[in-house]
Amino acid sequence: MASGTTTVEHAADAATHGAEASGAGMPQLDFATFPNQIFWLLVTLVVIYFVLSRIAIPRISAVLAERAGTITNDIAAAEELKHKAQAAEAAYEKALVDARAEASRIVAEAKAEIQAELDIKLQKADAAISAKTAESEKAIAEIRAGAVKSVTAVAKDAAKEIVSALGGKADAKAVTAAVSARMKG
């Protein structure tokens, strides 16, 4: 600090004028200004208190309450709409399932019909085929019988000729028996 006299002078200055105090001593400790500051502070606080408690706080709390109400209502409405949407979806799903069941039923019916028709046709075809087969087998059997008869006759004749050619007297009965025995064997 500087010389004591200046400090004292400044302090005195500050005490009397308040405005001229230049660094010597804290203006905060200039008690001459205390009544002024305290008075205006009390005025300020009272004004702020009334503005807040009479106007601002009721207004803001009303707005907040109203907003909370609106939000609750909106959420309820949204919930209801959601339920409706869910119901609609369920109905749609049900319709889809029904349609699928109907479609598969129709398909099964058609299949059964076709199968029945097919079975009848197959039976007919089988019958025709087996008839033809039987006919053919008969023809083959006839042909085979004819062939055996011819072979027997040729064998007898040939055997007779061979016997006579060898100079023997062909006994027709014995030749026939021999040929028949050979044919069987």
Partner 1 sequence: MATEAHEEGTGLVFHPLDQFIVKPLFGEGPIHWYTITNATLWMALSVVAIIALFVLGSRGRAIVPTRTQSIGELIYGFTYKMVEDVAGKDAIKFFPYVLTLFMFVLFSNYLGLLPMSFATTSHIAVTAVLAMAVFLTVTIVGFVKNGTKFLGLFWVSSAPLALRPILAVIELISYFVRPVSHSIRLGGNIMAGHAVMKVFAGFAAVAVISPVSVGAISAIYGLEMLVAGVQAYVFTILTCVYLKDALHPGH
| Footprint on this chain of partner 1 (rule: CB under 8 A) | 1-2, 6-7, 10, 14, 16-19, 21-24, 26-30, 32-45, 47-49, 51-53, 55-57, 59-64, 66-67, 70
- Shorter beta-carbon distance to partner 1: residue 64 or 85: 64
Q: Burial of 10 by CB count in 10 Å (0-12 exposed, 13-18 middle, 19+ buried)?
A: middle
If the CB atoms of residues 60 and 139 are measured against partner 1, the closer one turns out to be 60
For the CB of residue 72, give the shortest distance to partner 1 in the complex, in Å: 13
Q: What angle do CA 25, 31, 32 make, to 5 degrees?
A: 110
Nearer to partner 1, 45 or 162 (CB): 45
Q: Nearest CA to 162 among 150, 152, 170, 171?
A: 170
The two structure tokens encoding residue 38: 């305290």
Please answer whether residues 160 and 170 qualify as being in contact, where contact means their C-beta atoms are separated by less than 8 angstroms: yes
User: Looking at beta carbons only, is 50 or 92 nearer to partner 1?
Assistant: 50
CB of residue 12 to partner 1, shortest distance in Å: 13
With respect to partner 1, which residue has the nearer C-beta, 48 or 158? 48
- DSSP H/E element including 130: helix 57-165
For residue 177, CA distances in Å to 144, 145, 181 come to 21, 19, 6
Residue with Cβ nearer partner 1 (32 or 158)? 32
CB of 76 to partner 1, least distance (A): 16
Distance of closest approach, residue 75 Cβ to partner 1, in angstroms: 15
Query: Least distance in Å: CB of 89 to partner 1?
Result: 32
CB of 60 to partner 1, least distance (A): 5
Distance from C-alpha of 174 to C-alpha of 153, rounded to nearest angstrom:
14
Is residue 7 a contact partner of residue 24, using CB atoms and an 8 Å limit? yes
